[in-house]
Amino acid sequence: MQTPQNADPLVSICIPVYNSAITIGRTIESVLGQTYKNLEIIIVDNLSTDATQERIREYKDSRIKIIENPVHFRCAEYNWNTCFAHTRGEFIALFHADDVYSPDMVARQVDIFRKFPSVVGVFTQADIIDEQDKIIGSFRLPPKITGNTPYTYQELLPVVLEYGDFFFCPSAMVRGNIYKKIAPFRYDQFGSASDLDTWLRVAQTGPVIIIEDKLLKYRMSMTQWSFTLRSRTQEADGFKVLDFHIAECGKQCDLTSDTLGKYELRRMEDQIFCVLNYVKKHDFSGFRQYLNHMNWGKYIRIIITKPRISVPVLRKGFFKILENIKQLTIF
């Protein structure tokens, strides 16, 4: 949407929702309480079967628009993709229906866009809360990333390879024209890590910034998809994304052998995590098959030829393995 010079640009806050009657009220209230007022709040319901829509309609604000999907999409990412067609804002944010956003979050992100005209995406950090809104943890940036600093794709990809995904999905605000250009989230290709692929593609179009402050509270519940991932027995979807970006853009980013070595050691650690989950489930056939599937020769070569990078990674992984072994009933 075009706005007069110096006027506050319109921000589209999209909230994809499904069966969130218990939490959606807190989320809506935190959005309505933003100090930044030029908002449109687009709530896209994926045919909820609980009282979600009734709870949403309790809020009488002209900025709220409720969209009901014609069919139920089988995954959240498909619902995310439907949001873009309903937005008019210069900036678009996809909020989660169970998180709580600080009153100045949107204003802080828009200020970053104003200060850095070349920036295409702004993220924040977050505290983690449980079902009772109690803080149980927080997200931290990796050592090689400084908050409030613009980073290019070429600078970000090596750090993601070494440390994993540090882009906090429900904090992302992206220029509307960029979001619509790179949409959709490619769930069919990258599964639960399609958001990481999206943030990397956003960064390919221009610099992004991560605000260092924790400007939202991210809810972690026992029924949440991210929680169930802890018991998975297949390699994390993030490796599909990063393998793809290495193949497509590795030369452009001038990836070092040390960076790629650390990345493969992270893969080994993840695969051992999957092996231990097979044991926890007493699936010893799957346990043996997965062990045979692992590329031990590659990992051993990295350990032998790059001890400087291998020792700290292996030490960290060893303690994680011990923590898991303590929980195994077989032992």
Residues 132 and 203 in one domain: yes
| Residue 229 belongs to some domain of the structure | no
Residue 327 CB contacts under 8 Å (≥ 6 apart), including other chains: 280
| Residue 235 belongs to some domain of the structure | no
Phi, psi angle pair for 212, to nearest 5° = -70, -30
Structural contact between residues 223 and 149, judged by C-beta atoms closer than 8 angstroms: no
Q: Identify the domain containing residue 176 by its residue range.
A: 11-223
Residues 271 and 196 in one domain: no
Number of domains the chain is built from: 2
C-alpha distances out from residue 177 to 7, 83, 153, 187, 281, Å: 19, 14, 18, 21, 46
Domain of residue 202, CATH code: 3.90.550.10
Q: Residue 56: its pLDDT value, please?
A: 97
Residues 44 and 172 in one domain: yes
Residues 45 and 189 in one domain: yes
CA torsion sign for 40, 224, 129, 176 is negative
| Residue 250 belongs to some domain of the structure | no
DSSP line for 189-227: HHGGGHHHHHHHHHHHHS-EEEEEEEEEEEE--TTSHHH
Residues 171 and 285 in one domain: no
At residue 253 the predicted structure's pLDDT band, cuts being 50, 70 and 90, is: confident
At residue 59 the predicted structure's pLDDT band, cuts being 50, 70 and 90, is: very high
Residues 71 and 200 in one domain: yes
Residues 208 and 75 in one domain: yes
Residues 204 and 285 in one domain: no
- Enter the pTM of the model: 0.90
Q: By mean pLDDT, which of 54-58, 94-98, 225-229 is the weakest?
A: 225-229
Q: Residue 174: its pLDDT value, please?
A: 98
| Residue 190 belongs to some domain of the structure | yes
Residues 106 and 211 in one domain: yes
Q: Residue 228: its pLDDT value, please?
A: 54
Residues 304 and 184 in one domain: no
Mean pLDDT, rounded, for 203-210: 98
| Residue 3 belongs to some domain of the structure | no
- Across the chain, what does the average pLDDT equal? 90
Q: Residue 182: its pLDDT value, please?
A: 94
**Residue of 165, 33, 178 lying closest to 93 (CA atoms):** 178
Enclosing H/E stretch for 65? strand 64-68
Mean pLDDT, rounded, for 128-139: 91
pLDDT digits (tens, 9 = 90+) for 64-116: 999 999 999 988 899 999 999 999 999 999 999 999 999 999 999 999 999 99
- For residue 164, the 8-state DSSP code is -
Residues 185 and 107 in one domain: yes
| Residue 231 belongs to some domain of the structure | no
Residues 208 and 272 in one domain: no
Q: Residue 229: its pLDDT value, please?
A: 58
